[in-house]
Chain A
Amino acid sequence: MHSIMKTSFAAIVAAGITATVAHADAHALSGDLVIFSDMSNPAPRAVMEGMAERFGAMHPDLNIELTIIDREAYKTQIRNFLTADAPDVANWYAANRMLPYVNAGLFEDVSDIWEGDMSTELASTKGAMTIDGKQYGVPYTYYQWGVYYRKDLMEQFGLSEPITWEEEKANCQTYLDNGIKCYTIGTKFLWTAGGWFDYLNMRTNGYDYHAALTNGQAKWDSAETRATFANWRELIDMGAFIDNHQTYSWQEAMPFMVNGEAASYLMGNFSVAAFREGGLDDSKLDFYQFPEITAGIAKGEDAPTDTFHIPSGASNKDNAKAFLKFVVSADNQTLINNGENLGQLPVNALSAVDDDKFLNEGFDMLSNKAPGGIAQFFDRDAPAEMAAVAMEGFQEFMLFPDNLDDILARLDAAAVDIYAE
């Protein structure tokens, strides 16, 4: 069966030291290369276009055809083009999110790319790209999750970054007493609630329980999961989250923090660009790792990895493989993940992390402060269908915490069906 290996970040840092610089393929390519990409937001779009351009410059005889599809729409369309009209290269996500396509034989086994140096350079994400011992794509970026907060508000009320759950709640109470919500969130698209569940669950029960639950080995109606929800409920009962979050997308929830009506946001690092655009500079915006809940449990982190794959139906697989090697090469990784481009973390251990407050902090956190393990994200670790029903349950719980028994029973019933396959 598939395995989502947990990886320690210390391992890759060590691996990086011994690895040698990878050389891009020297010989020029010709023919066609068709790329379908979901990097449709402004910054990622520029990155994707830039990569195609630079790869094209390296291989003047190669005809590159790049199609960028709206990121949300892409998620439903990928299965159409994989079966009908396969490009040579396509974006997707790691871990369980790629499982259906691997099982259906729609993603090409690219283990040969991973042979040799590449395996050590990309050691951090190898587990997430591996199913049954084979690799089915390459990563191009990953990013940390954590609590982004209004530094100025925290200072105003004389608070400091919380380390423990008690401190987290105490800070929150102070905000609430001053008429400010602790957390903004928009759950219209559900996955944001998945982020909260992941962190509460990994802090309450640890990374291994997260893995067991998303793999279907643990029950939803269990003491562990109930403890997670009980912690969540403490915040809900305090009124910590903004009202009407079920009507907002994650973007629509941002103004609450930008306007100072909410103090913090549990989010991925991609939100930094949007915060800055909204007018929060580094004097007002800061980041801390989600605090400890159960003392002594090794902290696990969410760090979703975005990926490139070669569809089995691709017609120019050699060109595609060359492109994948180019994507993960140390230089390209340094470039596309810097603050002016994606503003995320490079997957290649030989790349430099851009000198940006949030990237440094995130890299340090994932390398040194996440001994528990690195998770992809709830909806990438759990099978797609399970993620859909579970995240709907999370949203319901946030609105009606009393429905918990019912929600858990429903999830267990759904799990029986989904994991049986």
Chain B
Amino acid sequence: MPVSEYDQVKRGWYRRNEIAITPYLFLIPGVFFFAVYVIFPVFQSFNISLYKWDGLGEAEYIGLENYRKLFDDRAFETSLWNNLKWLVLYLLAIPAGLMISLFLNQKITGIRLYKSLFFFPFVISQIVVGLVFSWFYDPTFGLFTKAIALIGLEIKGGVLGNPTAVTYGIIAAGLWPQTAYCMILYLTGLNSVDPEQVEAARLDGAKGWKMLWYVIIPQLKPATFIAFVVTIVGALRSFDLISIMTRGGPFGQSRVLSYYMFEKALSEYGFRMGYGAAIAVVLFMIMLVFIAYFLWSMYQDEKGAH
């Protein structure tokens, strides 16, 4: 049979090129899955955004009409502004996480358990966090409402019923787990702060804020970078909290792009796949700015390493 001969040839060829070919063989399944479920869909969404399509019948090509409509859409404008609030305020998780990690960076009995418990909010689902905070903010019995009443404050309609306060309220809920995440990043980072440098700085008379700013924070740069990446991604992915806490209300004031897109395309009253895709494309473009920055930073690192 010629099979064995062919086999030998093949093996021979494979043998000779093994090192060149192996990585591709190992990459095939991963790249295939990733391409089918992540890479192609991005382009498909771009394509869908050029159509008018209710998801049921035939799609009709309308060019950039969906994007033109976005300009007149006030709900879109509100969502965009809210996304900006999320982006900016979510970053508070970074300094807040740093503060807590500095506070906990001590050696007392049980500190490990304390650290784990502080980290707790990150482990539970955003759905549970959302429920917890809706009750926390409840205008009749919520602990938050009662607490601010003690100092004579009242938020009209409750935090989640007040069109001005609502987005901040949800962001605060989101900051809870996010701060825990940043805290753990910094706790690990602090472990590797060079004690000799700290001592040297101390001898030079640096302490407190000065020490933190000029000696510690520069050494925490890798942790800060990761914290920045995960916080930005988290801010732009905010969907679960809004969905569970307000469904975008009151009258759409807590919408963000990710939620608005879902609403337009798939929710009870939404039948605009093309329009939804256009919103998703805008969201993607915003993210792309950050993705480009992350990749560029990583590229610099890679160049440095080799």
**A interface residues with partner B (beta carbon < 8 Å):** 72, 75-76, 79, 82-83, 100-101, 103-106, 187-190, 243-244, 246-247, 379, 384-385, 387-388, 392-393, 395-396, 399, 410, 413, 417
Give CA–CA (A75, B268) in the complex, Å: 5
B271 touches A100 (CB 8 A): yes
Give CA–CA (A67, B2) in the complex, Å: 58
A247 touches B160 (CB 8 A): yes
Q: Which residue of A lies closest to B57 (CB)?
A: A104
A76 touches B267 (CB 8 A): yes
Q: For B95, list chain A residues within 8 Å (CB).
A: none
A243 touches B157 (CB 8 A): yes
Interface of B, helix, strand, loop or mixed by DSSP:
loop
Q: A104-B54, A392-B252, A395-B249 are in contact. Are A247 and B139 (CB under 8 A)?
A: yes
Q: A387-B269, A388-B269 are in contact. Are A246 and B55 (CB under 8 A)?
A: no
What 1/0 flags go to B158-171 for Cβ under 8 Å of A? 10110100000000
The 5 A-B residue pairs with the shortest CB-CB distance in the complex, in nearest-first order: A104-B56, A388-B269, A396-B251, A247-B161, A246-B250
Q: For A379, list chain B residues within 8 Å (CB).
A: 269
Q: Which residue of B lies closest to A75 (CB)?
A: B268
Q: For B252, list chain A residues within 8 Å (CB).
A: 392
Give CA–CA (A399, B156) in the complex, Å: 10
A399 touches B268 (CB 8 A): no
Q: For A385, list chain B residues within 8 Å (CB).
A: 269-272
Give CA–CA (A44, B249) in the complex, Å: 29
Can you list 21 A-B contacts with CB-CB less than 8 angstroms, sorted by A residue number?
A: A76-B266, A79-B56, A103-B57, A105-B57, A106-B56, A188-B246, A188-B247, A188-B249, A189-B247, A244-B161, A246-B250, A247-B138, A379-B269, A384-B269, A384-B270, A385-B272, A393-B251, A396-B251, A399-B250, A399-B251, A413-B72
Give CA–CA (A417, B73) in the complex, Å: 12
Give CA–CA (A101, B271) in the complex, Å: 11
Q: Which of B43-76 contact A (CB under 8 A)?
A: 54-57, 69, 72, 74
Give CA–CA (A384, B270) in the complex, Å: 7
Give CA–CA (A66, B266) in the complex, Å: 25
Give CA–CA (A395, B55) in the complex, Å: 28
Q: Which residue of B lies closest to A417 (CB)?
A: B69
Q: For A410, list chain B residues within 8 Å (CB).
A: 74
